[in-house]
Amino acid sequence: MSSPSRVPQFVLPSLPGLRSATVFRQKICYYDVGAGPVLALLHGIGGDADDWAFCLEALGQSHRVVALDLLGFGRSDKPAIDYSIAGFVEVLQRFLQTLKIERASLIGGSLGGWITTTFALQFPQIVEKLVLVDAAGLWGKNGALPIDLRVSTRQHMREVFEFLFFDKSLVTDDLIELAYRQHLERGDGYTIHNLLQNLQDGRERLDESLADIKVPTLIIWGEQDAMIPVAAAHNFHRLIPGSQLEVVSECGHLPALETPAELVRHVLNFIGR
């Protein structure tokens, strides 16, 4: 047994080979594991498919899991365009079409939840079930973020992760070194800056649209989420007809990294094993 005073080190599990598809002549990178009903996983702003690293194996035991790097993020191409929710929805629809996926359950975290919700509103015939994990998109009184996500230094990266995690001991030097190195290598700074500018006026917000969601929906939320407080989870639950809500205790904004086993359990209980 390890000493209680020992800070755990952050190590990614073994990941499958990265694949790519061409969508609107742009490269979209993704993981594709397992077999069975399709689960499409969408990450949040500044993230990539690796955000789901601790969930892929467990979900892939009963499903085909497709986790993609959104256009402008990760290892996917990063055209110098104005990024919008509508644009991500178009790319996702064409991506699924390219992979000949006719039906899928969608799991979206943070920004990914905003995209998957909008997708379910536009293409309900494609969506089997919808899982929102600490999702963005509800505006409320204002859309200002409580921390600047336009990371510019290693120290800034540490401050962001300490804000996102409930368990601060997870914010190790190894995690910050990995995250900051990948941020620089993957060059998503323009995408983050541009997207935050474009979303701040609230034109694509979900507040008035959620009553039109027709697919079964599960909402999963970290109880100590400081980025999008748990009150937003209850608002999603109230506004989406027939939705289910699971609040994860001692968890911040990133359940897929902080409490992956509990996230997977809730997902599989909802979508079936």
**Mean per-residue pLDDT of the chain:** 93
Structure tokens at 258: 């902080």
Tell me what pLDDT residue 160 has. Answer: 95
What is the C-alpha separation between 85 and 50, in angstroms, rounded?
21
Tell me what pLDDT residue 92 has. Answer: 98
* Residue in the block written with tokens 């799991």: 107
Structure tokens at 68: 């993609």
Q: Which residue has the higher pLDDT, 21 or 199?
A: 21
Give me the amino acid identity at 217.
Answer: T
Give me the amino acid identity at 45.
Answer: I
Tell me what pLDDT residue 143 has. Answer: 61
> C-alpha angle with apex 164: 138 to 254, nearest 5 degrees?
75
Note whether 72 and 186 are within 8 A (CB): no
Tell me what pLDDT residue 249 has. Answer: 97
What is the C-alpha separation between 143 and 166, in angstroms, rounded?
22
Which residues touch 173 (CB under 8 Å, ≥6 apart)?
none
- Local confidence band at 1 (pLDDT 50, 70, 90 cut-offs): very low
Looking at the DSSP assignment, which residues form a beta bridge with residue 31? 67
For 151-189, write each residue's pLDDT tens digit.
999 999 999 999 999 999 999 999 999 999 999 999 999
What is the C-alpha separation between 84 and 69, in angstroms, rounded?
15
Looking at the DSSP assignment, which residues form a beta bridge with residue 108? 42, 132
Overall pTM surpassing 0.85 (yes/no): yes
Tell me what pLDDT residue 5 has. Answer: 37
pLDDT > 80? residue 9: no
Residue in 18, 40, 41 with CA at minimum distance from that of residue 30: 18
* Range 146-154 average pLDDT: 92
pLDDT > 50? residue 3: no
Mapping DSSP to helix (H, G, I), strand (E, B) and coil, where does residue 217 land? strand
* Range 75-90 average pLDDT: 97
DSSP E strand boundaries for the chain: 19-23, 26-33, 38-42, 64-68, 104-109, 127-133, 217-222, 244-248
Q: For the chain, what is the largest distance between any 2 Cα atoms, rounded to a whole number of angstroms?
A: 52
* Range 187-197 average pLDDT: 95
State percent of the chain over pLDDT 70.
95
For 59-74, write each residue's pLDDT tens digit.
999 999 999 999 999 9
Tell me what pLDDT residue 6 has. Answer: 37
Structure tokens at 56: 């892929």
In CATH, which of 3.60.15.10, 3.40.50.1820, 3.20.20.105, 3.30.565.10 is domain 19-141+188-271? 3.40.50.1820
Tell me what pLDDT residue 272 has. Answer: 86
What is the C-alpha separation between 93 and 68, in angstroms, rounded?
13
State percent of the chain over pLDDT 90.
88
What is the C-alpha separation between 246 and 266, in angstroms, rounded?
7
* Residue in the block written with tokens 């499958």: 16
Structure tokens at 131: 């899982």
Pairing between strand 64-68 and 38-42? parallel
CA distances from 156 to 127, 159, 183 (A): 37, 5, 12
For 208-236, write each residue's pLDDT tens digit.
999 999 999 999 999 999 999 999 999 99
- Local confidence band at 4 (pLDDT 50, 70, 90 cut-offs): very low
- Local confidence band at 7 (pLDDT 50, 70, 90 cut-offs): very low
